[in-house]
Chain A
Amino acid sequence: MRHTISVLVENKFGVLSRVSGLFSGRGFNIESLTVGETEDPAVSRMTIVTRGDEKIIEQINKQLNKLIDVIKVRDVTTEDYVDRELILVKVNAEEKNRAEILRMTDIFRGRVVDVASKTYTLEVTGSEGKVEAFLEMVKPLGLVEVARTGKIALSRGGKILSTKGSGEDKKGTGTKK
């Protein structure tokens, strides 16, 4: 099954390679990985989308927790969450397609971020399903290039994952307090 795992890490050089090295060294798979600063500039948040059975996901959680620079790990897939991905898409803007491209972008609540004589660059944000659907729609119109951010996610409601304590599993199953 597919899991989305949020990881708070110390914002230091080398942390990304420790995390990615853990995945490659133990044969875990990464579908996407995003990193960015959090509300605390000393802390980065990674969102990792991975696949595996229960045992593998448990090991991923535990092994991530073992890394010294990892502050917190949470598998958001186990709870209610929202996730989003942003894509930039360059399409052939031939005369006959231009109107259709703009209509599609509008329907998907996207934006045109760059216009050139022969291409449009579009921005679309949404859940994976929406982003995939958009790509399907513009493909026949002349898709040239795609850049995807990979998924980011947050739990719904009041649940937070921060360095100042959060609703974490404290049953000694290996999640850091």
Chain B
Amino acid sequence: MKINGAQIWNDSLLAEGVDVIFGYPGGAVLPIYDVLYNSKLKHIRVRHEQGAVHMADGYARATGKCGVCLVTSGPGATNTVTGIANAYMDSIPLVVFTGQVNIGLIGNDAFQEADIIGITRPCTKHSFLVTDTADIAETIKKAFYIATSGKPGPVLIDLPKDILTGMAEFSYPKSIQMRSYNPTVAGHPAQIKKALTAIKTARKPVCYIGGGLISANASKELMTFATTAKIPVTTTLMAMGAFPSDNELSLGMLGMHGTYSANMAIRDSDLIISLGARFDDRVTGKLDEFGANAKIIHVDVDPGSIGKNVGVDIPVVGDLLSVMKEMNKLLKKGEPNWAEKHAEWLSIINDWKEAHPLGYDTTSKLIKPQYVIERLYEATKGMDPIWSTEVGQTQMWAAQFLKFDNPRTFLTSGGLGTMGFGYPAALGAQAAFPKRPTIDIAGDGSIQMNIQELGTAVEYGLNTKVAILNNGFLGMVRQWQEFFHGKRYSSTVMGDNPDFVKLAEAYGAVGLRAEKPSEVDPVIKEALKVNKPVMIDFVCDPDENVFPMIPAGKTVNDMMLS
């Protein structure tokens, strides 16, 4: 029996196991919205298409599944670009459906036409323009396969309106084979062996973990690896949660605002074991000096990431779960006495940890942003919270002062650095886990980039809490202006912020405010108690900076500690 393209779209997503999608209707996707009127698919109608992509992204980061969103042609499609680029930089699996004008009108500058395939080509893993109703099901199958396998990423499917109204038989393929796409899974055994030999002879090894480890769901294997071989672990911003923060081997984050111990460990290490990281400039600082004393092992599913920025001694291409399992097997063979071998190294690291722990002025009469984060962490201990962040100072403080037990609990825009990501991302995670506390750590600047999604939160009962660390500045840019531009605070003063409490209330959410340290705990308690979306305005010290800091392009020796 023939059914229309929109129905095929719907049935394909159900066959793929999709439970929720984020979208916004429009002319070109009317046939799909007609089907969604009584579909089993849950649809969350957002307030802006960028929000839809970030929600699908947050959903994907928190669940490990593919996020899905749906928008109309033209402006609906172009509004997704930042969200898609964001997911691409952080390798998050998404399938983005965009409406398109009728096939015959493509290229004619029709109403609400945009060449979204062309516009998003550099920021998608792949994209498809469907030109036949009979191809919809197979294209969707391919899109999910491509988005979720190998190095994950966003895939865009452009659906002309007449393809959605056309008729075809429906059958959803069980599996897909593509001759041009076969991502590597198993690592090369000889390379893995080489890596193990290096690990067994190193005196000062350190694990440098990236977001790829979380994508590969290999946290347990990392735990086994690091604790067996007694190797200290530092994580990138994208990998927070990959290794428990309170483990004695944990060094926290490395890089520009990383811990003293993590950056010193990299400086002095003789073997850097990079697992699913990509040697981003915010991590490496001055490239020539990064790990200058170390051999580098780099395990990554993407060969293109290996040797791109830093020369690698032992490359291993493969899925991290599979490679880590192999490495753990080999770790046991001819095992040295790890504790003894690394005793001196671990004691040096401990000295660094004790000499320069992360901290802030705890005697201040003003609310310190770090204090709010610590109190939020304490208040949600044992409740399996999911954290998201916006971008800038608040993001860095969150990475420094939150503690993590599990992966997929810290949703942050690592690569693109997208302000306005955190709130919709948290809502996407909340849609997947309605019962877990989901908290966005925001600034007064970044929250206003997608604040309209408060409406979505209220409408769908997504009871995410937003903690605005309000310092009246675009804080990170202000910090750079203070250090590098003679305190000329050009366009970074947020003088006319709205009353966030009233704003939340206007949307039908709960607004709360804390103006001094003693008010922080009661407000947090209230926010967690109330079964509604909450926005908390923490009026913070406007002059607080993020430390340590290694200025861009500099080395660990230029680290500013306060």
Contacts and interface: CB of A to CB of B under 8 A. Distances in A.
Interface of A: 9-10, 14, 17-18, 21, 25, 55, 58-59, 62-63, 65-66, 68-71, 163, 171-174, 176-177
Contact of B308 (A59, A71, A177): A59
Contacts, number: 57
Nearest to A66: B304
Interface stretch (B45-53, B177-185, B351-359): B177-185
A55 B309 CA distance: 10
A65 B308 CA distance: 15
Interface residues on B, range: 20 to 34
B307 A65 contact: no
A133 B1 CA distance: 66
Contact of A63 (B121, B184, B304, B317): B304
Given A163-B179, A172-B184, A66 B118 contact: no
Given A63-B304, A174-B303, A71 B187 contact: no
B303 A65 contact: yes
A9 B118 CA distance: 19
B211 interface: no
B118 A17 contact: yes
17 contacts: A17-B121, A18-B121, A21-B122, A25-B122, A55-B307, A59-B307, A66-B302, A66-B304, A68-B181, A172-B184, A172-B191, A172-B303, A172-B318, A173-B303, A174-B304, A174-B306, A176-B180
A144 to B, nearest CB: 35
B126 interface: yes
B182 A176 contact: yes
A63 B302 CA distance: 10
B180 A68 contact: yes
Contacts of B181: 68
Given A62-B304, A172-B187, A172-B318, A68 B178 contact: yes
Interface string B14-40: 000000000000000000000000000
Contacts of B458: none
Given A71-B179, A171-B188, 10 more contacts: A14-B117, A17-B118, A59-B307, A68-B125, A69-B180, A70-B180, A172-B187, A172-B188, A172-B303, A176-B180
Contacts of B207: none
A131 B225 CA distance: 60
A172 B317 contact: yes
Nearest to B311: A55
A98 B152 CA distance: 63
